Chains A and B, each alone.
Chain A
Amino acid sequence: MRIRYDRDACQGHNRCYLLAPELFDVDDDGYAVLRVEGEVPEELRGKAQLAVDNCPEYAIGLDGD
């Protein structure tokens, strides 16, 4: 499972950062920054899904399984 992040769609709601700080950071302007490159570690898959399901702008998605 990999995280797909669309910087153009992101409006800095910061829901991902609050729910899954292991996977998302924020820059100085409040936009999301991915913390993992490549495969999401097994134990963080639930959090990745939570971030996806709470992003109001549909700016994050998951690829693969």
Chain B
Amino acid sequence: MADAGSDMADEGATGPPGPSGCPVTDWSTDFDHTDPQYAARAPEIWDELRSSCPVARSERFGGVWLPTRHADVASIAHDTDHFSSRGVIVSVFEPGPGPVGYAPPITSDPPFHETARRLLLPAFSPKAIRPLEPTTTALCRELLDDLVERAGEGGVADAAIEYAQEIPVRVIAHMLGVPASDGDRFRTFIHRIMETGGQNDAVDPADTLSAYLLDIIEQHRGSVTPRGDLIDFLLDARIDGEALDEDHIVGTVALLLIAGIDTTWSAIGAALWHLAHHPEHRARLLAEPDLLLMAIEEFLRAYAPVTMARKVAREIELGGRTLEPGDWVLLPFPAANRDPRAFDAADEVILDRAKNRHAAFGLGIHRCLGSNLARMELTVAVREWLLRVPDFELADPSAVRWSAGQVRGPRTLPVRLRTITGPSSEEAA
């Protein structure tokens, strides 16, 4: 079925060249993960490199490596002595020194990393996340009601923009205890962060996410009854007996927004993209709803959205190459997930794959803190879509656009709603 590779190849895009100013012609010596070709056909590029040049190097971004074998990606993720998280997004700018970093815990190295991470773990454990499922179900149904009403049976809707994109934003707003009436304002902040990479230029300082959150924090402090939301959780948290200062709380919330939104959006979009052109998989999931548990992990394996990065801290050999301190290293978990040495029929989507040690949520100490939340959102989003729109197809395969860079997923996904069913009458599960 080799679907992702070949399907994506059809979606080849042309556009502006990568940061060195020239389009890539040789991926083994000059790759650029921000190039539009990478957006369109990354899985094919990984497959080519894995056999021809498993630890590739490019001089772009001041020197960056791209390992594509599962074994190499895993060894880097587990080796925090040679590889530092002080830089996790490859850029022409030099990140600050460790070990705390600008967005703990994702940019922190041991030993500080554990302090920052432990603090947040209980809020994201499977048992803490489960109570959010009914709300998530309800909001997916609401989005579907609107989408179905607008498009109508036989009509076209954008599953990435009108559905997938909205889900993580609304869930996180709910988790933070942001008033529903502030929804639009909150979404504006988030879209500003997502679209400008966190640089809010030329905006009124009173109208920023930080100012807004400080206000919310004040309201929480003033409230007598605890609300049990994430802001309450952070206000109650202690490091060595000390409460967190407001900057720490605002910073943590900003990290959760940045780490949790376009990642989850991408995963939901990619699963729907797959289902749009695999009617046999739609039919199977509708007939065997329990299969979703394994199918979701398989979608995460095959369409893992997140590639992280590291900075080399100490010289090390990898795949016969010498990585020097200061070099960037991309950690393409999606490429590791498609390595035939680690997975049987790695390029096929097998809904009930029994051996699936996928690395979509990373490996080692930085394992995605939000993985249980993301998994729940992805499960609910796909389940509710299939219940409401059991039959759908890509309206125009050439109109599908994948994002470039380290978070990869469909950003435009027009689908034709071939069959729609009435709104679900059962209570949110």
Contacts and interface: CB of A to CB of B under 8 A. Distances in A.
B199 to A, nearest CB: 32
Contacts of B121: 12, 28-30
Nearest to B363: A56
Which of A13, A14, A15, A50 has the most CB atoms of chain B within a 10 A radius of its CB? A13
Interface string A8-50: 0001111101110000001111100000000000000000001
A11 B364 CA distance: 6
Nearest to B360: A56
Q: Is the interface of B mostly helix, strand, loop or mixed?
A: helix
B358 interface: yes
Nearest to B361: A13
Contacts of A15: 297
Contacts of B189: none
A50 B359 CA distance: 17
B125 interface: yes
Nearest to A49: B354
Main secondary structure of the interface of A (DSSP, over half): loop
Residue among A19, A26, A29, A56 with the highest chain B CB neighbour number at 10 A: A56
B316 interface: no
A55 B356 CA distance: 8
Interface residues of A, number: 20
Contacts of A54: 297, 355-357
Contacts of B363: 11, 56-57
B340 interface: no
Nearest to B124: A30
A26 B371 CA distance: 14
A18 B124 CA distance: 15
B126 A30 contact: yes
B378 to A, nearest CB: 13
Contacts of A29: 118, 121-122, 125
B354 A53 contact: yes
A56 B358 contact: yes
Contact of B357 (A14, A18, A28, A53): A53
Contacts of B356: 53-54
Given A13-B361, A14-B371, 17 more contacts: A14-B126, A14-B372, A17-B126, A18-B126, A19-B293, A26-B125, A26-B126, A27-B125, A28-B121, A29-B125, A30-B121, A54-B297, A56-B357, A56-B358, A56-B359, A57-B364, A58-B357
21 contacts: A11-B363, A11-B365, A11-B367, A12-B125, A13-B361, A13-B367, A13-B371, A14-B372, A15-B297, A17-B126, A19-B294, A26-B125, A28-B121, A29-B121, A30-B122, A30-B126, A30-B372, A50-B354, A53-B357, A55-B357, A57-B363
